[in-house]
Amino acid sequence: MTNPRADRVRDVAKLAQRSARQRRGLFLAEGPQAVREALRLDARRGTRLVTEVYASDSCLERYPELGELATATGALRLATDEVLAAMADTVNPQGIVAVCRYLDASLDDVLARAPRLVAVLCRVQDPGNAGTILRAADAAGADAVVFTEGSVDVYNPKAVRSTAGSLFHVPVVTGVDEGELVSRLRGAGLGVLAADGYGVVDLDVLQDESAARRLSAAPVGEPKGSGDSSSSYALEAPTAWLFGNEAQGLSEEELALADARVAVPIYGDAESLNVGTAATVCLYASARAQRLGVGLKTD
């Protein structure tokens, strides 16, 4: 393909718009890393999520494994850099793009697999933040990422890019009602924690308590004082974390759904953490407690 004004090129480019994506149930993966992860997922599962691949000769030469995977689909078409630039949201898609079917998993399927760590994005609006959290959730070994109703579209080109391929690793559930979600999560044996800068439970305290249980040692550090900051939530237990909107955080209704409102401690003068940073710290704290706590009873 050499004509950047061809109808097919325009059809692909239209996937930058949410309405076109939703109508067709398709989105665009851009660049070697994203396309490779998409093709690997198909190869692993025997599915056909990737419906079209467009690549330049030089890209296929530079990434032979990618070339092989793309050729095996039977859906590969060679294209010029000009055509690829016209298709893609990025200025430079690095020689390859792929049209992919929506990946949404159903909540039923996710819960049937007894998840131990789930990230829930409650009305997160920034595509970069959403992608970063999905990537961090993948790194922390989360079993699923859920986008509630009113969240940014995970298939937005910038969100897809920010996941750096993790969109093709972690099951994603979208458009879920929060109230229903939380009761379903609880039914599947997960506790629910709200990440909340104003939370009375300190994440460090939960980590300390978890470490103390694991080591059967005395409670760690200073006496915790009375009241809410001494929580009984076992961080090593299966957990769903709720992360809120960038500007408003979690709403009162969302906070009320959780077993505890947990704050990432701020040791310095920062007023708050950005939601991606907070989510990373929370998910890694859970992953670490769960990994270390394997074999422990969590009553």
Where in 133-192 is the site for a copy of itself (CB under 8 A)?
Answer: 135-142, 164-166, 169-170
Distances (CA, A) of 266 to 89, 98, 204, 205, 271: 37, 42, 10, 13, 8
Q: Does 220 bind a copy of itself (CB under 8 A)?
A: yes
Q: Does 15 bind a copy of itself (CB under 8 A)?
A: no
Does residue 207 contact residue 221 with C-beta atoms inside 8 Å?
no
Q: Which span sits near a copy of itself by CB under 8 A: 15-23, 93-101, 235-243, 288-296?
A: 288-296
Among 125, 251, 277, 298, binds a copy of itself (CB under 8 A): 277
Q: Does 270 bind a copy of itself (CB under 8 A)?
A: yes
Binding mask 28-57 for a copy of itself (x = CB under 8 A): -----x------------------------
Q: Does 249 bind a copy of itself (CB under 8 A)?
A: no
DSSP assigned state of 297: -
State the DSSP H helix or E strand holding residue 251, giving kind and residue range, or none if neither.
none
Does residue 73 contact residue 11 with C-beta atoms inside 8 Å?
no
Tell me the C-alpha distance between 178 and 255, whole Å: 11
DSSP secondary structure of 34-84: HHHHHHHHHHHHT---EEEEEE-HHHHHH-HHHHHHHHHTT-EEE--HHHH
Q: Does 72 bind a copy of itself (CB under 8 A)?
A: no
State the DSSP H helix or E strand holding residue 33, giving kind and residue range, or none if neither.
helix 32-45
Residue type, 7: D
Q: Does 217 bind a copy of itself (CB under 8 A)?
A: yes
Q: Does 271 bind a copy of itself (CB under 8 A)?
A: yes
Nearest-10 crossing angle of helices 275-292, 203-215: 10
Query: How many chain residues bind a copy of itself (CB under 8 A)?
Result: 44
Among 80, 207, 230, 298, binds a copy of itself (CB under 8 A): 207
Q: Which span sits near a copy of itself by CB under 8 A: 53-61, 177-185, 248-256, 262-270?
A: 262-270
Least Å distance, CB 121 to a copy of itself, is 16
Q: Does 296 bind a copy of itself (CB under 8 A)?
A: no
Tell me the C-alpha distance between 40 and 46, whole Å: 10
Q: Which of 70, 72, 74, 71 is nearest to 98 (CA)?
A: 70
Q: Does 128 bind a copy of itself (CB under 8 A)?
A: yes
Q: Which span sits near a copy of itself by CB under 8 A: 69-77, 80-88, 148-156, 217-225?
A: 217-225
Q: Which residues bind a copy of itself (CB under 8 A)?
A: 33, 128, 132, 135-142, 164-166, 169-170, 204, 207-208, 211, 214-215, 217, 220-221, 264, 266-274, 276-277, 280-281, 284, 287-288, 291-292
